[in-house]
Amino acid sequence: MTDGSTHGSTLGVGMVGYAFMGAAHSQAWRTAGRFFDLPMQPDMAVLCGRSAEATAAAAQRMGWRHTETDWKALLGRDDVQLIDICTPGDTHAEIAIAALEAGKHVLCEKPLANTVDEARAMVAAAEKAKAQGVRSMVAFNYRRVPAVALARQLVEQGRIGQIRHVRATYLQDWITDPEFPLVWRLQKDKAGSGALGDIGAHIVDMAQFVTGDRISGVSALTETFIKERPLPESSSGLSASGSSERGEVTVDDTALFLARFGGGAVATFEATRFATGRKNGLRLEINGSAGSLAFDFESMNELSFYDAGEDPDTAGFRRIYVTEPTHPYVGAWWPPGHGLGYEHSFTHEVVDLVRDLAAGTDPAPSFADGLQVQQVLDAVSRSAQAGSGWEPIAGED
Amino acid sequence: MTDGSTHGSTLGVGMVGYAFMGAAHSQAWRTAGRFFDLPMQPDMAVLCGRSAEATAAAAQRMGWRHTETDWKALLGRDDVQLIDICTPGDTHAEIAIAALEAGKHVLCEKPLANTVDEARAMVAAAEKAKAQGVRSMVAFNYRRVPAVALARQLVEQGRIGQIRHVRATYLQDWITDPEFPLVWRLQKDKAGSGALGDIGAHIVDMAQFVTGDRISGVSALTETFIKERPLPESSSGLSASGSSERGEVTVDDTALFLARFGGGAVATFEATRFATGRKNGLRLEINGSAGSLAFDFESMNELSFYDAGEDPDTAGFRRIYVTEPTHPYVGAWWPPGHGLGYEHSFTHEVVDLVRDLAAGTDPAPSFADGLQVQQVLDAVSRSAQAGSGWEPIAGED
Amino acid sequence: MTDGSTHGSTLGVGMVGYAFMGAAHSQAWRTAGRFFDLPMQPDMAVLCGRSAEATAAAAQRMGWRHTETDWKALLGRDDVQLIDICTPGDTHAEIAIAALEAGKHVLCEKPLANTVDEARAMVAAAEKAKAQGVRSMVAFNYRRVPAVALARQLVEQGRIGQIRHVRATYLQDWITDPEFPLVWRLQKDKAGSGALGDIGAHIVDMAQFVTGDRISGVSALTETFIKERPLPESSSGLSASGSSERGEVTVDDTALFLARFGGGAVATFEATRFATGRKNGLRLEINGSAGSLAFDFESMNELSFYDAGEDPDTAGFRRIYVTEPTHPYVGAWWPPGHGLGYEHSFTHEVVDLVRDLAAGTDPAPSFADGLQVQQVLDAVSRSAQAGSGWEPIAGED
Amino acid sequence: MTDGSTHGSTLGVGMVGYAFMGAAHSQAWRTAGRFFDLPMQPDMAVLCGRSAEATAAAAQRMGWRHTETDWKALLGRDDVQLIDICTPGDTHAEIAIAALEAGKHVLCEKPLANTVDEARAMVAAAEKAKAQGVRSMVAFNYRRVPAVALARQLVEQGRIGQIRHVRATYLQDWITDPEFPLVWRLQKDKAGSGALGDIGAHIVDMAQFVTGDRISGVSALTETFIKERPLPESSSGLSASGSSERGEVTVDDTALFLARFGGGAVATFEATRFATGRKNGLRLEINGSAGSLAFDFESMNELSFYDAGEDPDTAGFRRIYVTEPTHPYVGAWWPPGHGLGYEHSFTHEVVDLVRDLAAGTDPAPSFADGLQVQQVLDAVSRSAQAGSGWEPIAGED
């Protein structure tokens, strides 16, 4: 493969991993071309997993034509032009770099890597591959929720003016029970960090995406409320059953930080798995000189917008029900008023990626964007370990 | 076909129509087996439409293997065991009756028919076919929104006690513009009625489903605010562009009625296409002696529940975010907090239908249920034409 | 007193009744001049009640200077220029007519009377008194909630265009318990009707006030869910304790009706004391050709407004937080963002009344307005008794 | 005056200041005894302000019997047993200390003082006076909003278990316009600080009050977005008109901080006057091991409560409409469902204070509580000035 762009009308996909993210990506690959006009049709060529039997079952269920048990085998297959990485963060760097070197496009789940060093190596590989027309993207799917994409549009149009405040939280509660077992997401060697990298990464990316600005420094604290948990007897990411033996929780349960953006805004960020009753409380509020925006994923088809230019008598936060045909991505789906779900964000991600690949343009967010998020997370960790002192975020360039 | 139940592991589907409802059903047929364990795998065998070219394009996009341009051709095909009717209401009776007589299961979009007489004939055909193991279902998809199914469960469990009040609205606004053209949904000969049959049918079914009770009488009024509209130059159901010539609107823009239920509850119902700003405001509130429930499709992943047994100090309407694994249908999808969309209700419909076909049990809602809804709508029309006088709903049996 | 208008700088008030409404009116009389510039200062001269002892205690608590035990004594007092009637509906006509004939202004709680005939007699007395400069007002306090007054302004300004739909409910739940005793509000001879006159009157007035239009006909049903209740051992309106003996409930528990307005709008109305979990759910939604408005008293400082003229990308219901200085009545109170409570509506009522009296202008709503509401309620009763058949509302003039 | 407690049945009040806070306190003094049973009746004896004319006008409007133009004159008056301080923060220490030394009870607006040193001196004076039966209270009125008091009760009852997260914001937007003039609240010498002391103080007190815990350390940043503003031509606290000359803004526009509580909870706090569209967004969310609570002053009659002990199928945040007779303070007012307003929090404050004075018990929050809040604010300032480094809060004792 010499230029990485469109080879005829199909895009052969090889996906590694088939748990939560694998299921979401599969639905996206299956569905994108059914609702959107795509310049290439995705071909769900190969699913890769460690267990031959489980992989075969998953492939049949999810609609993949072939299976492999070693991701390296994907590199040599002619029917694979893109590798979709849906594994835990500790494996991202190795797979992605090898794939890019083999001339395969890469879609990589977030966080890009578990460490800044790994992420840097991935960016280097992506830059090198790009010269060959081989492209890469990190999968911050929430950018493609229509309400979030609309928020970005309104900021770009200047509808809220100069941004002064960002307020971002990602609130979950799935490990409030101290008997919830020590799954891989609670182990530093596998997951890199806890709430910080898993869900904190999403709000960092979303806040930067919607504002169009970057965090320039942070002051942070992290906490692990439950220090020991039962070792898991079985585990698949977000659910598990526990044994009677216990192990140490090596990641944060929550990470909180203050931040400044390059353009002058100040911000609070909070990621936690202990916000009892909040299931997926990914919330963003932005206050600007001319208006405000607010989003909560638990009402994902809505965007709140305040226009300070309105007559004070009738000014107020509007609940925009983001199901109009002119709203981002929405026109491809249903008539007004018929909301979308979580999985649609992945379908939109695939649509945008395929279009970029066909056009030979760079998909966003890039690996460099993923690295920058990683640098913010890293600064958060460092500040938390150093008495919450201010940690500036150094740009790479 | 002699007993209508499972023939091996696939269920061949022939679908008639490929507009809004066709797209929704296609997504359901494609997706059901990817997330749910099905006893038979749907085979999207044949798509049928009047224009060969348009049907072929739709079939390719939506994933149907073959096409036909005459629905009668489906009756003789061995690869079709079920006919899925997604056409306007004036064609339902003819297709459904022929399909049932040909030994094909039938899934028929709502309203079951445009008249009570047609609906009665369909029920007769369904009864006759049932003796041969051939089954039928009318597609009131909103029953399968998890929050609505949960509401039904709570009522069945007695959580709200004896029901006293039902408050149901279906509020849309897509024809408030007087220049919106005279599409088929605004023509009595095609659509049977306006808001009444199109969306009023949904709230009648939903209210009866959730309460587990039936409407025993109504007092109604209907109104057509815009009497003439531009003739459409092109039309596809909910959107169109208009010409300079005008024609008469022959259906209701809105229908309002009071009702009594068999069990003693009183109710208000309202269906309209003129509720400016309400896009799909399908709302149901039920007040019982022990509690209350409230649902609004514009927040489709939520159910409000009031438990009158709580201490008054902490009693209050709870916002149940219906994304827990134990909620109806939800366990097959994503972790808690990751909401579903409009189209999932159709996937659930297909899942339930396929399971019933495999088990040889009767799917619900049945054609008889569809007829009963039609009788309510008919009583509404009669009351509206007769000075809102009370119209009892006669049971068929 | 010969012309009824301002005599110097004070307005002597004599109030009859000191229960729920008496307490609300007292707070209004005490407070109005503290926040608003009034042309006359109210003087809380005399409180009248049947029990000398209880009246004296109430007068001291509420701040009335003198007491009487016979309302007729108020008629001859020079320190009383206005009689404020806060008694049950069966006494309104006698007191009001006598007061007006004695040259006293009258503020009368709603409903104006228990029957249309009484109300007519009151209007006649009001008309006659008006010629002498003696004025009268019926106390539909909810008109003076700032959000409701703002809704009226927006309708008047044409912000929602031609009105097509009105949806009004008044939902309470204070008698869902079958053991709640048979207080006077549940007895037809005292209260005239049940939910219909008590709270239905409010939504009829509010809907007509905000739309600026009048109901031209209705179709109705009423229901009494609990037919017998314990006789009260003690009772003060909304709370009571019951004895072991039972009596018949002679009023409606709920009244529902469809309506048409003179200007072409159609409407649903519902008043009930059995909406479990709804405490004071006085809600009004109005859909017009250019926009919509929605109000719920349980969030009394908010008004929802949809402007159909907005770009569809950013259109949405706005939550106007009605606490801006330019909002009706609000400027006299606190800085933006500091909401008001229930009782403020009475203070505003008194402010408007006092200003009208000083200016010699007619207060609204007038007794004629109260009569018209009574006629609507009467038509509701008649329709409910006659199989929900349509009952036109005859205008008086 | 020797023991400071009840002298007969009245409590003579002398109030200093009559702007925003003075109006709120006056309404409280006027109203408390009308709805609550008080052991002593407040006597609104003297209003004190610098301008004789303006003070006289205010006294008449607000209902004070006498006036003074020098607050020291209050100290010698026999008809004054309590001095209510409603002036800017720079004057609190001098007035309060003198009053306490003169044997007058003191109610002092928040923040207690502009500096920790002043606050310490006030606490010392309060301690000394207490030995003579002379009592003092700092006026954090939001504790007395019924929903906030209910939140405190639920925490005390263990309904949300061990507290892990606190999320507190106070969002306003009244100076987003750069042309808004440099009123006293924007001048450090008068106001001590900006958003931090004015509204940040409220959320610090509220969070500590509801959790029953204290902040043990903070990491902070502050920002002044608009550095210069027009000098005011006239100013009365929250509103003003500006001249063409400009001056430096010497206080913060916003203060953000992370915090830890003594009991192990972590927290984010944010106070700002630049949250466009948020008028009085005093919000508190608390997540505990057994449940969560959320409050927003913009919906002040509501409390959200999540009980993690509920069946997951019906668990959800409940909107408790805090208008039941058993809710704190509510029973004295109206029937269920009739909400209160901002000013009621002051009435409740006065009720509690009068009852404590009569009983000879210590009112809360005490001056020591006010000092502790001041210490938190001081630590916030220090951290913000020192690169957001962690600042522990030293207890006084």
Q: Cβ A314–C316 below 8 Å, yes or no?
A: no
Q: What is the DSSP pairing of strand B136-139 with strand B105-109? A: parallel
Is cis: bond before B39, omega within 30 of 0? no
C-alpha to C-alpha distance for B273 and C331, rounded to whole angstroms: 39
Among chain C residues, the shortest Cα distance to B391 is held by C387
Residues of A in contact with D195 (CB under 8 A): none
The kind and range of the H/E element at C248 are strand C240-248
Peptide bond preceding C111: is omega within 30 degrees of 0, i.e. cis? yes
* DSSP alpha helix (H) spans, A131-215: 146-156, 188-191, 195, 201-211
Tokens of B237: 């159901």
A337, pLDDT greater than 60: yes
> Does position A6 have pLDDT exceeding 60, yes or no?
no
In chain B, whose CA is at the least distance from the CA of A21? Answer: B334
Q: pLDDT at residue A7 above 60? A: no
- Is pLDDT larger for residue C4 or for residue B391? B391
Q: Choose, out of D317, D318, D323, the residue to mutate when testing the contact with B (most B CBs < 10 Å).
A: D318
Given this model, what pLDDT does residue B6 score? 43
Q: Is the pLDDT of residue C32 over 70?
A: yes
CA distance B298 to chain A (A): 7
- Backbone φ and ψ of D304, nearest 5°: -95, 135
pLDDT digit string (tens) for A259-293? 999 999 999 999 999 999 999 999 999 999 999 99
Nearest to A144 by CA among A345, A299, A332, A328: A345
Structure tokens, B73: 């051709």
pLDDT at residue B238 in the model: 59
Of D238, D281, D339, the CB nearest to C341: D339
Residue A208 to residues A211, A214, A263, A285, Cα–Cα distance (Å): 5, 5, 11, 12
Q: In this predicted structure, what is the pLDDT of residue B239?
A: 57
What is the per-residue pLDDT for B177? 95
pLDDT value, residue D233: 77
Percent of chain C's residues with pLDDT above 90: 91
Closest CA to A282 of A169, A364, A151, A190: A169
> Two tokens at B196?
């009444």
Contact B193, B252 (CB under 8 A): yes
DSSP H helices, chain D, are 20-35, 52-62, 72-75, 92-101, 116-130, 146-156, 188-191, 195, 201-211, 344-359, 367-385
Q: What's the confidence (pLDDT) of residue A9?
A: 87
What is the pLDDT, as a whole number, of residue D394?
78
pLDDT tens digits, one per residue of A86-142: 999 999 999 999 999 999 999 999 989 999 999 999 999 999 999 999 999 999 999
Residue C7 has what pLDDT? 45
Whole-number pLDDT of residue C233: 77
pLDDT of amino acid B128 = 98
Distance from CA of D332 to the nearest CA of B (A): 16
Q: Can you give the pLDDT at residue D232?
A: 86
Alpha-carbon distance of D274 to A290, in angstroms, equals 11
Task: Per residue of chain D (397 residues), give pLDDT as tens.
Answer: 334 444 458 999 999 999 999 999 999 999 999 999 999 999 999 999 999 999 999 999 999 999 999 999 999 999 999 999 999 999 999 999 999 999 999 999 998 999 999 999 999 999 999 999 999 999 999 999 999 999 999 999 999 999 999 999 999 999 999 999 999 899 999 889 999 999 999 999 999 999 999 999 999 999 999 999 999 876 555 555 667 799 999 999 999 999 999 999 999 999 999 999 999 999 999 999 999 999 999 999 999 999 999 999 999 999 999 999 999 999 999 999 999 999 999 999 999 999 999 999 999 999 999 999 999 999 999 999 999 999 999 775 5
Amino acid symbol at A98: A
Which is nearest to D226 in space by CA: D279, D173, D277, D282?
D173
Chains that touch A (3 or more CB pairs under 8 A): B, C, D
The pLDDT, as a whole number, for residue A233 is 77
Cα–Cα dist B282/B271, whole Å:
9
Apex CA D373: angle with CA D371 and CA D376, to 5°? 115
Is B298 within 8 Å of A174 when comparing Cβ atoms?
no
Beta-ladder partners of D12: D43
The whole-angstrom distance between D300's CA and the closest CA on chain C is 8
Distance from CA of D221 to the nearest CA of A (A): 8
Which chains are within 8 Å of C by 3+ CB pairs?
A: A, B, D
CB pairs A-D closer than 8 Å: 132
Question: Closest Cα of chain A to C159: distance in Å?
Answer: 10
B248-251: long-range pairs with CB below 8 Å, 24+: B249/B182, B249/B186, B249/B194, B249/B224, B250/B186, B250/B187, B250/B188, B250/B189, B251/B185, B251/B186, B251/B187, B251/B188, B251/B191, B251/B192, B251/B193, B251/B194, B251/B195, B251/B196, B251/B224
Out of D256, D308, D388, the one facing A277 most closely (by C-beta) is: D308
Half-sphere exposure of B361 (CA within 13 A, CB side): 9
The pLDDT, as a whole number, for residue B232 is 86
Which residue in B266, B314, B382 has the most chain C C-beta atoms within 10 A of its own C-beta, making it the best mutation to test that interface? B266
Strand intervals (E) in A128-249: 136-139, 163-171, 215-223, 228-235, 240-248
What pLDDT score does A5 carry?
41
D336 CA: distance to closest CA in chain C (Å): 6
Using a CB-CB distance cutoff of 8 angstroms, which residues of chain C are in contact with residue A305? 314, 316
Name the residue type at position A257. Answer: F
Which member of C239, C298, C339 has the closest CB to residue D342? C339
Radius of gyration of chain D (CA): 21
Mutate to test the interface with A, among C314, C320, C323, C329 (most CBs of A within 10 A): C314
> What confidence score (pLDDT) does residue C48 get?
98
Residues D111, D377 contacting (CB under 8 angstroms): yes
Task: Flag if B279 and A323 touch (Cβ within 8 Å).
Answer: yes
Rounded distance between C-alpha atoms, residue D155 and residue D161, angstroms: 7
Q: Which two tokens stand for residue D153?
A: 């009760």
Kindly list the distances between the CA atom of residue A24 and the CA atoms of A35, A46, A110, in Å, as whole numbers in the listed order.
Answer: 17, 16, 14
Omega of the bond leading into D365 within 30 degrees of 0 (cis)? yes
Q: Which member of B27, B278, B342 has the closest CB to residue A34? A: B27
Q: Which residues of C touch A150 (CB under 8 A)?
A: 313
DSSP one-letter string for B145-180 = SHHHHHHHHHHHTTTT-SEEEEEEEEE--TT-STTS
ipTM score of complex? 0.94
pLDDT at residue C175 tops 70: yes
In sequence order, what are the residues at sequence separation of 6 or more whose Cβ sits closer than 8 angstroms to the Cβ of residue B250? B186, B187, B188, B189
**Residue B394, pLDDT score:** 78
Give the angle subtended at the CA of D331 by the CAs of D328 and D335, to the nearest 5°.
125
Q: Please give the Cα distance from B206 to B302 (Å, whole number).
A: 16
Positions of chain B with pLDDT lower than 50, given as ranges: 1-7
pLDDT at C382 over 90: yes
* Residue of C292, C318, C320, C323 best to disrupt the A interface, most CBs of A under 10 A: C318
C-beta separation of B42 from B352 below 8 A = no
Give the SS3 label for residue B315: coil
Domains in chain C: ranges and CATH: 10-142 (3.40.50.720), 146-299+301-340+375-385 (3.30.360.10)
Radius of gyration for chain A, computed over Cα atoms and rounded to the nearest angstrom: 21
